[in-house]
Structure 1
Amino acid sequence: MNPTGTVLVLSLLGASPALSQDPLCARREPCTVVETLDAGKDAQGRPLQVKHVELGWADVETSDKFLGRKFGPGGRKAEGSRADGQCEAAEWWLVRPSQPAQLLLSVCNNGYGAAGVGEDSVTVSDNRFSHDQHGGSRQRWTVSRTLQLSPLRLVIEGHRSSDSMAEDGKEDGDYWDLEQLRGDVVRAAPECEEGEPSLGERTLPYLPQVQVDKAYLEGGWKQAGLGACGFESGNFLLGNQDDPKDASLKALLVAPDTLLVEVRDDKWTGPSAKWLNDDHVELWLAPKPPQELTGCGKPTAEQLPSQWGIRIADGKVFPAFGSPKQTLQVERAEMPDKKGYRMKLKLPTPFQAISVVYSDSDSGKKQELMLATSLVKFGRPETLNPVRVVPPAEATCSVKNGQLAVVPGPVKKTEPDVAVLRME
């Protein structure tokens, strides 16, 4: 008899599948390792595996104490039903040579909402473990997170929600990549009052606020670029760009009141009698988070943004939209390669929305190209960038090879039987 046939006969006789003898299932019946997935290699070149363990059915009320931890022995059954107040228990474990197995995730699926359509989707790839949890009733939601396995840290998180009864598939959500310090908020087109104009669906990129070295903040920014930490504009408000070397803009908040801006261009114009026709940076600030504004009708007086122009040629500041009375403090330095300028701006606070625009005028007669950190609509605070404050425990930025680079925070120590991913 071939090996496959042997396993089949043993199963029919009532014996547990061979995989249930895995150490992860010791004294934990019912328990079966249903998958062992290749997860690439760790930093030392050692193989990584993820094991998926099914643990039968548990009472919802008693299972709560195990969520985020290894399920204890007993209290579970091989058969059950959500209709009887039970949930399906499962775990995923990281297995590494010469180290104890580490619990990555534990769940007990009770349908995750009145609709009973809840699911847990797991994907394992090279040094990555991704989990999507879906649930809800009429309002459906998804929580997505991705772990780096070596060293163990959260690298991506996101949330999405939608109305299952809506025909247009409108979806709200947010996404954040902790490695790249990039992400955005998506707001579906709202249901505005009849006759009230709407901005429609909005995708609002986060502008990160990141802690940098004290020496960089005090003067190092004049010599070292914003590098991978700088948020690079990718939105054209005016014109288009045939040559990427023509102009570029990066921005980075390095304190609640301090913004660094890096502009490159192949031709500089100004100063002239009309700053709007000179090469300049436009700064927008608003008091409310843009993702919390509906985009219906006109913004109220309390929501209106303020705008300033900063001329590249001399760093002079010009109040613009909203005629702001607060001023900006500007320090300006030419880049060492003579191909651009950096500016350190001291901003009026508080604000919860910001956008930066570079206006390029090669002719010196009109605005010809406008690059921005978001799709700014003139005077509309709902279109600015939300601020994403990055805690130092998550990441900081430090100079490497003449440019700022993302430095991940310290790896958090987790007990082997405590899940790295905790359910909210």
Structure 2
Amino acid sequence: MFRWLAFAAVTVLATRALAADLTPDQQSAICGARKTCKTTTADAGQGPGNVKLTIVDAHFDVADKPEEAPEEGCLGDPEATDAPERDGGREIWLIAGSAAPKRILALCNDGYGSAGMGEDMIEVTPNMITWDQSGGSAWRWVTTKQIRLAPLAVVKEFDCSFNNTAPGTGVATEIDRTTLQARSVGSASGHKFSDDDEIGCPDWPDGPDATLPTGPIYAGGYAVPMPKAGPDDDGLGYPEGTALGDCARELTTDGLHGFLVHGKPVDAGAAIVRVTKESEASLLIQVFDPTAAAELKSGKAKSWVGQPHLEIWVSEMANPEDNDGPNGETYVFRQFAIGLDGTTYPGVNAFATLPTVTHWAARDEAGRDVTVYRVKWEGDDRPSFGIGVVYSQAKDGKQARMVSNAQINKNKPLYLPDAWANAPEDQGIPSGSCALTAEKRLDVVKN
């Protein structure tokens, strides 16, 4: 079953009772010298301190279109009665109590892609607006953002993209913008879609106790974040000696973080692994395993498989037009392993040239001794889609338990989520923050 990944979104005034009329000063602050400005208001409940919140939806004719808009203007609202085919866009403003109006969204629908089917929809609820935006070409996309009004912040985001000519290509991602962690759902390996299957986005697991799907049609995973994505990324990565903070995806063998894909969880002696995509061609993986040194010293393992080690899976998209990848699958998977000394080992369908691995000792925010591995690809062998990281904790020369950001079944991923690039919200609305390293915090957006 497919659907657009979006809340039930309708125009502002259909969701809330009309708020009080604007004062002349408020009208002037919003419209300025734009003579075609038409405003409607909606009650948005109350913010902290019982401050009354009002949303103002301002619409403009082509004469007052933004400077960067197409010459013919923006696409009109297809949901509005008697709306013109072209207009000057719209703006969403917030009035909090007696404070001056604050513009939070400026929208001009230029089609949002070559298909020309872009659309914006806004829903107002108490202390929140939900903004759905869609567009694309052969590859369609939908983004839904929940924006808290007071204090102003994006608190949750849903993204989906799919090929409009091929079933099974839909990928949905949920981002918690307060913690900057993301989960993703896509087609499960081994499931072959037919031309009769619907095209669109996979359903998202709803409800407070919702779990990610495990197949056979769809599967979920925890996305590896790329925290430095965006205009402030200098492209230089992190200096050697860095210990990762909570911007990374954390995996633990106590069963609390990630998928325990082999063995039983352990309380005492649990391993803690953190993963960050440093750049388009490199990963940083931090390992704390209090049992590893003694296990390696024992020499009981017959090969690296029985030693504590990392396994990396990457995926490439096969031909999405007709789903004719190997064995009829959508994705091609490649695997290699890394010993704790940094030695690499080829795995399933590995690249001919494995990435280079360097490592250093560091100390995390809790004072624990950790090792950080830099995994760097060269040329065209860099990951082009999904990334899976597995840590194998050993005992008595055998694999005791394995934890991963992806579900692994019979030494094959069900689905590998793409890394999540943590770019600032393009309208400048604040988001969360996280510890980029063990010592420095990352302010994703400055308001």
Distance 1:25 1:100, change over 3 A: closer
Query: Counterpart in 2 of 1:280?
Result: 309
Distance 1:32 1:379, change over 3 A: same
Are residues 1:249 and 2:278 paired? Answer: no
Per-residue deviation, residues 116-162 of structure 1 (Å, max 9, x unmatched): xx96422343xx54435799xxxx99642133557755453324589
Query: Counterpart in 2 of 1:101?
Result: 101
Are residues 1:183 and 2:182 paired? Answer: yes
* Aligned-partner residue type, residue 246 of structure 2: A
Query: Counterpart in 1 of 2:212?
Result: none
Whole-angstrom CA distance in 2 between matches of 1:191 and 1:264: 39
Distance 1:279 1:84, change over 3 A: closer
For residue 48 of structure 2, give the secondary structure of its aligned residue in structure 1.
strand
**8 Å Cα contact 1:122/1:131 also seen in 2:** no
* Aligned-partner residue type, residue 51 of structure 1: T
Q: Larger Cα Rg: Structure 1 or Structure 2?
A: 1
Are residues 1:307 and 2:306 paired? Answer: no
**8 Å Cα contact 1:25/1:32 also seen in 2:** no
Query: Counterpart in 2 of 1:367?
Result: 399
Query: Counterpart in 1 of 2:53?
Result: 50
**8 Å Cα contact 2:183/2:220 also seen in 1:** yes
For residue 21 of structure 2, give the secondary structure of its aligned residue in structure 1.
helix
Alignment of 1:41-190 (within 5 A): 49-53=52-56, 65=65, 81=81, 92-96=92-96, 100-105=100-105, 120-125=122-127, 129-132=129-132, 143-147=143-147, 149=149, 154-159=154-159, 173-187=172-186
Query: Counterpart in 2 of 1:22?
Result: 23
What's the TM-score, normalizing by structure 1? 0.63
Whole-angstrom CA distance in 2 between matches of 1:267 and 1:52: 56
* Aligned-partner residue type, residue 103 of structure 1: R
* Aligned-partner residue type, residue 328 of structure 1: T
Whole-angstrom CA distance in 1 between matches of 2:94 and 2:319: 37
* Count of equivalent residues: 357
Whole-angstrom CA distance in 2 between matches of 1:202 and 1:99: 47
Identity in percent: 21
Whole-angstrom CA distance in 2 between matches of 1:256 and 1:186: 21
Match of 1:228 among 225, 228, 246: 246
Query: Counterpart in 2 of 1:384?
Result: 416
Are residues 1:333 and 2:332 paired? Answer: no
RMSD of the TM alignment (CA)? 5.4
Distance 1:84 1:147, change over 3 A: closer
Query: Counterpart in 1 of 2:112?
Result: none
Whole-angstrom CA distance in 2 between matches of 1:273 and 1:367: 11
Per-residue deviation, residues 238-287 of structure 1 (Å, max 9, x unmatched): 1231427522221112223332212233422225441100111112233x
Task: List alignment gaps of at least 5 residues for structure 2.
Answer: 1-17, 29-34, 70-79, 110-119, 163-168, 196-214, 252-257, 427-431
Query: Counterpart in 2 of 1:192?
Result: 193
Deviation at 1:327, TM superposition (A): 4.3
**8 Å Cα contact 2:185/2:417 also seen in 1:** no
Query: Counterpart in 2 of 1:35?
Result: 43
For residue 305 of structure 1, give the secondary structure of its aligned residue in structure 2.
strand
Match of 1:260 among 260, 269, 284: 284
Whole-angstrom CA distance in 2 between matches of 1:248 and 1:409: 29
